[in-house]
Amino acid sequence: MNPATDQTLITATLQTIRPLDEVAMQAARDRQNRLTKPAGSLGRLEDLSIQLAGIYADPLPVIRDKVIITMAGDHGVVASGVSAFPQEVTPQMVLNFLHGGAAINVLARHIGARITVIDMGVAADLDPHPDLVIAKIAHGTANLTEGPAMTPDQARAAIATGIRIVNQQIELGLDIVGTGEMGIGNTTPSAAIAAVFTGVEPGNIVGRGTGVDDAGYQRKINAVRTALTVNRPDRQHGLDVLAKVGGFEIGGLAGVILGAAARRKPVMVDGFISTAAAMVAAAIEPGVKPYLIAAHKSQEYGHALMLDWLGLHPLIDLDMRLGEGTGAAIGISLAEAACKVLAEMATFDEAGVSDKGAE
């Protein structure tokens, strides 16, 4: 961990984020209006293709290399009884990802995406694996009910790590990135982040996560309330919020989002935890918002409020609440479909079909 180097990378990345390309978007919009269909009849697919044109600065965007970045980390707040599962499940699930047996593996294979798994702060030492990047900030965060989850330098390190990871993937050909995560207890810091930024009382944000019972649910609400009282995170400063009530995988995903936006790559945001990371990224640099696509609305309580805060309209609602990047995988398939419709569908002129304006 090198705080000066990390801060230099973050600053340089933020300075590179630019608005979407309006010329490419207008060209894509004009083509959509000439395709052999009633204008607007493909709804969100049309809007999505136009957004992607603006992100890539290309009126005919193409998605080939699809990547899910799944980041894992543990959380000290698990000691407060906020999860239905023990912390040992985090490294076990990471191994499941690496062996190809998790839901995200199945869905990634289905859409032709590759997965990169990152150990951002698992509370166990994982054996080396060719598909695992060990970028551990620490062996889990501190208990956010007793003080900050991490130091400011650790928060910067998490963000900088995410930037480096996505930059490496872009060099390998990444066209679109989906955010994924794994970490027992991570819905609690995510709810705390959401409560800070939205200003909504924790009882209206906190959900049941992996399925806690009524007593566990109340402990989660109390944990978030306590964390906000003890730490007093400043909603005007995304890094402060991350350090005080966040997680290493959340910070890493915020870095992925910032890094992708700086390189004009779209980010398919998964569910509750990934959206918390998007909120941190947007608080650090609001210019990332046009690069975000909300894959779905999670069944997790409070997710809709988070999406509203970001100004995002989810593509689907399948009552999912798994995480891992599963919703992002489905969303990426829709993004690819949107690009193909824009590029491959014939215009009225090309098809020799009369449009509604013909005499």
Output the pLDDT for position 185. 95
Distance separating alpha carbons of residues 150 and 97, to the nearest angstrom: 26
pLDDT band at 358 (very low <50, low <70, confident <90, very high): very low
Q: Where do you find CATH 1.10.1610.10 in the chain?
A: 3-61+342-351
Distance separating alpha carbons of residues 192 and 169, to the nearest angstrom: 30
Output the pLDDT for position 208. 86
| Residue 357, pLDDT above cutoff 70 | no
User: pTM for this structure?
Assistant: 0.96
201 among known catalytic residues: no
The sign one gets for the Cα dihedral 267, 270, 271, 277 is: negative
Tokens linked to 343: 């590029």
CA distances to 97, 100, 112, 325 from 106, rounded to whole Å, are: 10, 8, 10, 11
Tell me the average pLDDT across 207-231. Answer: 92
When the pLDDT of each residue in the chain is averaged and rounded to a whole number, the result is: 96
| Residue 210, pLDDT above cutoff 90 | no
Rounded percentage of the chain residues whose pLDDT exceeds 90: 92
Tell me the average pLDDT across 7-27. Answer: 98
Find, among 253, 300, 314, 261, the residue nearest to 279 by Cα: 253
| Residue 355, pLDDT above cutoff 80 | no
| E-state strands within 221-320 | 267-269, 292-294
pLDDT in tens, 253-305: 999 999 999 999 999 999 999 999 999 999 999 999 999 999 999 998 899 99
Q: Catalytic: which of 324, 336, 350, 359?
A: 324
Output the pLDDT for position 356. 65
Q: Where do you find CATH 3.40.50.10210 in the chain?
A: 66-336
In CATH terms, is domain 66-336 a member of 3.40.50.10210? yes
| Residue 16, pLDDT above cutoff 50 | yes
pLDDT in tens, 132-172: 999 999 999 999 999 999 999 999 999 999 999 999 999 99
Written out in words, the top-level CATH class of the domain with range 3-61+342-351 is mainly alpha
